[in-house]
Structure 1
Amino acid sequence: MQNYPNFKVDLTNCDAEPIHIIGRIQPHGFLLILNEQTLEVEQVSENIGNFLQADPAQLAGKTLQALVEQEEYEKLISQLRSEGQANPQLLQLQGEQFFGFVHQSQGSLVLECEPYEQPSGDEELLALTSAYTNFQAELDRRSTLIEQAELTVGFVQQAIGYDQVMLYRFDEDWHGEVIAENVKPGLQSYLYHHFPASDIPVQARALLVKKPVRQIANVSAVAVDIVPYLNPTTSSPSNIIRSELRNPSEIHLEYLQHMGVQATLSLSVLVNGKLWGIIACQNKTPVLVNFWKRQLCYNVAQAFANVVLAQQEYRDQRKFENYKVIEEQLLERIVNSNSVNEGLEKNRNSLLELSEATGAALFLNGNMYTTGDTPSETALRELVDWLTNNVTERVLFTRELSTIYYAAADIRQQSAGLLALEISKFNKEYLLFFKPEILEKRIWAGDPEKPVQEDTKRVHPRKSFAKWEEIIKGKSQPWSLNEIEIAQLLVKDLIAVVLRNQKAKLEALNTDLSETTSKLLTKNKRLEDFTHIISHNLRSPLSNMLGLYDLYESNPDPDTTKEVMELMRNMIQNMSATIDDLNLILKSELEQQLDHQEVSISEVVEKELQNLQSQILESNAQVKTDLKVQTVKGPKIYLESVLHNLLSNALKYRSSERQPVVEVSSWQEQEQVCLAVSDNGLGIDMEKFGGKMFDPYATFHGNKDAKGLGLYLSKVQVEALGGSLSVVSEPGVGTTFTVCL
């Protein structure tokens, strides 16, 4: 019988080999599978008679009581049913002592026994303990990983006496490399040789995590069947993946025979619970390593794993702190810039300081930033399109991009390796880091691609383990955890800055919208007033014109006709003037965009004084100027209109009791420029008219030339510029109008 009744294994299907249901064990111990509730025997290894007085054919359905004395049975039940079972336990069966290994599987108990071997004496135990203590102390003193690995394989070889002990480290593709070795003279060395991932298939690597110590005492030994193969309770093969004695895969045994190996001991190096490597021990002749020494070697493997972890954490933390300082400095410069785009544009070279990458590209806010050695812009945009459409993970890293993105074969000189971090898939925003192709010379233990075909058409493992060299192309240096984590941190911080800026922009837009809404409401109110003005100012003359027409129609003589026509002409002229005034108001209300420019205040004042020269001469007015600010930014036509209205009002509403004095002044008030026109004229009763000061057609002195539009238009124009127009006045003293922009 093979390991499986209906399954044959070769290199074409070894990845799918169901090693958990192998139906055979190694012969240096025996196995019983018991019903967990009744302890009745369900399956047994055929070699049990080599260790106990028992016939496997007679044990089915019987309890352990059929195998042992009553006193032994009671103690055995207690040991098997104890919670938190220790492995191994010292069991006594038929007066013989055994190492007993017990575990649960599919409602059954798997009991395995190896003959108990007592240490040679206290001296041997003391020597082993002392040697292990010295090993730990020396391991801490070694400063490099290779030195620590060399010390480890040397100690293991000394402890078990094997011909060859290797420390085998996995890479990210699960290929292995021997980084340290102790080998007896005359044997082939595999130091720095590589072994393909197919040598240890997926399910075998998973087993190395669950079962970190695994011994094959005799590669050529005849395996022992478990009978029956199908468990009678479950009608399926029993899962014995955690077994101490489970027979190895036949393909693995053939592999070891081709290497000339007859005994192996493998010790998993688990770093943070993950398979980092193996301490692989090989011997040219069969040898059984007892439990004491296996346990010692397991402790050694754990000690080495701890120093690997400590060294990684120290190295990674120190390097990560350096990266973090660079990332924080870059982010601070971005935050202190006017925008994220500007900050990135000025500091794009800092991206490369965050990793061992030789090129970087950032797609953000519709812009692309590159630094270092990167593919062309076209190739980068095609890569981003591929990431958007095909990659669901937020972080993608690979040292061989062309295996998942075939177009990368043309750009592997710059980007054999890619670290890609998604910022926004919707906006096609990514942070990309690139590493170039390295031409790596790799030494294999035999050609990993050429298993030997035989006449049976079964694909056997390679028979030659001679040195075989290969140049590895299309790969970059691997990405470290530090590089991945610092890039993730940068992306998180960039998103935070972008969101903060977007929030500020939204708040500014909301403020602008509120201001615009307020202005529109004010403007609508004024336009509503405008309709009332139209209704009032046009309805009355139209009604009068209808009345005159009725008068003419009732008495159409020449005298009446002449009188009506003269009155009609006056009304039409007045209506025309009113319409002109209303057009001026409407134009001011509807004006939205005006050219802003630096305007000379003195030039505008001089121009308007010249326009008002006749009124100045007529009134013998004295005009003074005190311009502490010479220029102001705004539409010149508005400033001219406002100054004209204010100056003409100062002259128009002068007092007959004193010489008119008008003063024009300007000054800086915080962030505003203020302009004032003061006079010593009639003044205004603010208590009476203050609320109507800037209403259209509001007049206060009965002047026949007053229309009440100047101040209204001035206020509209000043507020259109975001400024304010205020007034201080006292009857008989004078008035000051102040404009602040």
Structure 2
Amino acid sequence: MHAGRDLFFLLFSLVNADPKIFMNNASNGANRFYTVNYDLNNCDQEPIHIIRVVQSYACLLGVDVQSFSIIHVSDNSQQILGLPHEEVLSQNLADLLHPEIMEQIRSGLQENDFLSINPIIIKSFGGHILDTTYHLIAHLQDQTMILEFEQRDPLVSSSRFLQRSDRAVQKIQSARDVNNLFHETASEIKVLTGYDRVMIYQFDEEYNGIVIAEAKEDHLSPYYQLRYPASDIPRQARALFLRNQVRIIVDAQSEPAQIIPAVHPETGTPLDQTDSVARGVSPIHIEYLNNMGVRASMSVAIVKENKLWGLIACHHYQPKLVDYRVRNMIKFLSRIISGHLALQEAHDFREQGLQTNIVRSHLLEQMSRNWSVLEGLMQNKFTLLDLNQASGAALLLDGRLHTIGECPSEEKIMELIDWLENNTDSSVFETNELSAHWPAGLEIKDVASGLLSLQIAHTPPEYILWFRPEIIQTVNWGGNPEKAVTFSGEQMRLSPRKSFDIWKEQVQNTAKPWDRNDINSAIALRNDIKEIIIEKYQEIRKLNQNLLEAYKDLESFSYSVSHDLRMPLRTIEGFSQILEEDYKDKLDDYGQQVIQTISSSIGKMNGFINDLLALSKISLNDLIINKLNPASQIEQVWNSFPEAERQRVQFQLKDPMPPVYAEVTSLRQLLSNLLSNAIKYSRHQEIPMIEVGADSDGKSTVIYVRDNGIGMDPKHHQRIFDVFSRLVSDKDYEGTGVGLAIVKKVVDKHRGEVWVESEKGGGSTFYCRFPIHELEVL
């Protein structure tokens, strides 16, 4: 016998089949198994809980909970209970069972707890002693109490068996690691039950499975390490295993017993056997068992965190009934496994968490040094790659992409981020098969089959991405997982395999999966980054507050100094005028030159003080925004210049202009400074030209002043707006270096923007953008 995919059918009393097959293939007697007609496209919807047969090893009674009248009976009651089903049906249960037994049943019914009384020992039925002692297993299903009678094994009560059971539990509990636990459990269960083969079977997240431990007779072919697809396991089968945990098939070749009647005599509904221990087996599954030569099987669920983790699967090649008490013991052993799994997972999680916490603490310390996320995560001893065993990582921060390790191209990473923005809702996304979600991922599978993405910010988008490369592996399946359906003419049926050879598949486009610790550590890192950003923001806010206070003090000081300088300056100016008027004829040429120098310096000093005062007033005063006509303001300012200067310039005003929202006095100050500079720096041109205009995009108005003057090197475009910054000497062009600083201060106060376009010798154009504000005070 070869290992095959159809092993899994031995694990279930269920079938992975389209029920149309049953209805179209009457020769197999399938229409005897279900009361309702159904036409389904997949086995996930097969109504396995209302199959109308029971396995022949047990007799089933359905009892009305109000009257205790028997409303269902399996047609093998004569062989097991000694009475034909015709005599059992419609009788009162109390007339058939001993009063002490009835008392136990009533107690279980009243307390809604049959687990504490199951199994009940039955030695008589209907007034006569039975040839064999039976177990009665009871449970409640809606308003019907279901009683199942199965043979009791007297050896289970022997001291030898109890000692062997205790030894098995001790060996399993003392397993040194999880892998040893699985093998010990399989071996001990084989000894306790006598099955020919016992396996531990584990599911993955998608319910594909693998045999991870096996104990078997020497002549049997191994199933160890074979895999089985999730499509073998109907959804409702997983639900039943979570609910009942144990499923036994005693003899696959035995004719099942029919439930009489098939439906409730009053409601017309079929009997629900969801919790029945002897529920009938789907006929196509029986066909599989017969093809494989397996007569009996038992499967026990391993449940972890309310999820089906795996199965203890037992096979036998002759009919075999394992006592109900032994089945419960195996269920107990499955819970030991569940407990060990939970403890091991908690231990591993703590260990991994400890390691990642150490890495995170280093990353946090590195980010804190210079308040730099980039330096802290990618440019120090510890990096993003140390957090989760990724082979590459990318950081999109402040609009720039940074990478470390083996990563896709920058273009592909940006395409991936764009896809994440439009196709994922969560801030964390992980996959070990990127191409299954994003087809373009096939192009980068060598370095990025696995992706763990962490969104740091939404607008603008900022991300951390970790990548893992493709791992090509060969998977041994128990038979070809793709071949389960055959066609005969127009009819479709599930064809049980008669050959179960190993089928190999090469799995591509996948990477090592990300585990829970990887995801949790990524989320924790995001919180660390937020903490750094908040601390950095608070530090900047504190520095900004200090700067604002210092700036206010400086502006107040500048205003006071400028104001206080006027008095001594006026005194100096007065005395220089006296010297020039009263003593000029008594001074030689040098003395007269000194007086002229004093007078010129006083003029420059006055201009400097006026500019400082203007700069201080802009910062100290609130702006009252008004809707202004820029053309009118420009004309007023232009006409304020001396006529001699205006006549030399070819002045052009582009009209009409869109309105500008500004404070009138500061706007005039700005225009005066820009026009004054344009006149000054174009006066040596043969025909000085100045053009002033304005444009609007609906959100702001831009005023520009263009001249054909000396221009400037582009490298100075930012510097010229600094206070006291001048690119030419006072000898060639007078000035204080404050005029353009005033222009920038006015624009900043309006929450706008100022810039210049200029080339050396090619003139200059200054632009001032004013946002369209509601009329308000800034």
TM-score by length of 2: 0.63
How much does 1:328 deviate?
Answer: 0.9
Indicate the residue corresponding to 2:149 in structure 1. 113
Counterpart residue type for residue 155 of structure 2: P
Is the contact between residue 415 and residue 437 of structure 1 (CA under 8 Å) also seen in structure 2?
Answer: yes
Q: Take 1:473 and 1:448, find their aligned partners in 2: how far apart are those partners? A: 16
Structure 1 pair 135–423 and aligned structure 2 pair: CA distance change class (3 A): same
Structure 1 pair 459–86 and aligned structure 2 pair: CA distance change class (3 A): closer
Indicate the residue corresponding to 2:43 in structure 1. 14
Counterpart residue type for residue 469 of structure 2: P
1:497 pairs, out of 527, 532, 545, with: 532
Indicate the residue corresponding to 1:333 in structure 2. 366
Is the contact between residue 70 and residue 92 of structure 2 (CA under 8 Å) also seen in structure 1?
Answer: yes
Counterpart residue type for residue 151 of structure 2: P
Is the contact between residue 450 and residue 462 of structure 1 (CA under 8 Å) also seen in structure 2?
Answer: no
Indicate the residue corresponding to 2:80 in structure 1. 51
How much does 1:271 deviate?
Answer: 2.8
Counterpart residue type for residue 228 of structure 2: F
Structure 1 pair 113–233 and aligned structure 2 pair: CA distance change class (3 A): same
2:108 pairs, out of 69, 72, 79, with: 79
Which deviates further from its counterpart, 317-326 or 364-373? 364-373
Counterpart residue type for residue 490 of structure 1: L
Larger C-alpha radius of gyration, 1 or 2?
A: 1
1:455-604 alignment runs, 5 A limit: 455=488, 456-509=491-544, 585-591=609-615
Deviations 1:227-256 (A, max 9, x none): 444435654334332221112334433333
Which deviates further from its counterpart, 209-218 or 516-525? 516-525
How much does 1:454 deviate?
Answer: 4.4
1:371 pairs, out of 401, 404, 408, with: 404
The yes-or-no answer on 1:5 pairing with 2:41 is: no
Counterpart residue type for residue 356 of structure 1: Q
1:175-194 alignment runs, 5 A limit: 175-194=208-227
Deviations 1:524-561 (A, max 9, x none): 9999x99xx9xxx9xxxxxxxxxxxxxxxxxxxxxxxx
Give 3-state SS (helix, strand or coil) of 1:304's partner.
Answer: helix
Indicate the residue corresponding to 2:292 in structure 1. 259
Structure 1 pair 464–507 and aligned structure 2 pair: CA distance change class (3 A): farther
Structure 1 pair 251–331 and aligned structure 2 pair: CA distance change class (3 A): farther
Is the contact between residue 421 and residue 487 of structure 1 (CA under 8 Å) also seen in structure 2?
Answer: yes
Is the contact between residue 416 and residue 476 of structure 1 (CA under 8 Å) also seen in structure 2?
Answer: yes
The yes-or-no answer on 1:65 pairing with 2:94 is: yes
Structure 1 pair 360–18 and aligned structure 2 pair: CA distance change class (3 A): farther
Query: Which of 1 and 2 has higher RCO (CA within 8 Å, sep 6+)?
Result: 2
The yes-or-no answer on 1:155 pairing with 2:184 is: no
Q: Take 2:207 and 2:265, find their aligned partners in 1: how far apart are those partners? A: 39
Deviations 1:591-648 (A, max 9, x none): 379xxxxxxxxxxxxxxxxxxxxxxxxxxxxxxxxxxxxxxxxxxxxxxxxxxxxxxx
Is the contact between residue 559 and residue 616 of structure 2 (CA under 8 Å) also seen in structure 1?
Answer: no
Is the contact between residue 377 and residue 383 of structure 2 (CA under 8 Å) also seen in structure 1?
Answer: no
How much does 1:387 deviate?
Answer: 1.4
How much does 1:288 deviate?
Answer: 0.7
Structure 1 pair 462–348 and aligned structure 2 pair: CA distance change class (3 A): farther
1:277 pairs, out of 310, 319, 325, with: 310
Is the contact between residue 448 and residue 462 of structure 1 (CA under 8 Å) also seen in structure 2?
Answer: no
Q: How many residues align?
A: 547
Give 3-state SS (helix, strand or coil) of 1:490's partner.
Answer: helix
Q: Take 1:101 and 1:522, find their aligned partners in 2: how far apart are those partners? A: 97
Give 3-state SS (helix, strand or coil) of 1:236's partner.
Answer: coil
1:355 pairs, out of 381, 385, 388, with: 388
Deviations 1:649-674 (A, max 9, x none): xxxxxxxxxxxxxxxxxxxxxxxxxx
TM-score by length of 1: 0.66
Indicate the residue corresponding to 2:637 in structure 1. none
Which deviates further from its counterpart, 344-353 or 429-438? 344-353
Indicate the residue corresponding to 1:384 in structure 2. 417
Is the contact between residue 452 and residue 463 of structure 1 (CA under 8 Å) also seen in structure 2?
Answer: no
2:433 pairs, out of 400, 414, 417, with: 400
Is the contact between residue 431 and residue 491 of structure 1 (CA under 8 Å) also seen in structure 2?
Answer: no
Indicate the residue corresponding to 1:28 in structure 2. 57
Deviations 1:495-542 (A, max 9, x none): 222233234434544565677678889999999x99xx9xxx9xxxxx
Point out where structure 2 has 5 or more consecutive residues left out of the alignment.
1-30, 571-600, 618-741, 746-778
Counterpart residue type for residue 202 of structure 2: R
Give 3-state SS (helix, strand or coil) of 2:150's partner.
Answer: strand
Give 3-state SS (helix, strand or coil) of 2:500's partner.
Answer: coil
Give 3-state SS (helix, strand or coil) of 1:51's partner.
Answer: helix
Indicate the residue corresponding to 1:126 in structure 2. 162
The yes-or-no answer on 1:209 pairing with 2:242 is: yes
Structure 1 pair 352–3 and aligned structure 2 pair: CA distance change class (3 A): farther
1:243 pairs, out of 269, 272, 276, with: 276
Indicate the residue corresponding to 2:703 in structure 1. none
Q: Take 1:526 and 1:19, find their aligned partners in 2: how far apart are those partners? A: 96
Structure 1 pair 50–489 and aligned structure 2 pair: CA distance change class (3 A): same
The yes-or-no answer on 1:102 pairing with 2:138 is: yes
Counterpart residue type for residue 182 of structure 1: A
Indicate the residue corresponding to 2:626 in structure 1. none
Indicate the residue corresponding to 2:448 in structure 1. 415
- TM-align CA RMSD: 3.6
Structure 1 pair 451–312 and aligned structure 2 pair: CA distance change class (3 A): same
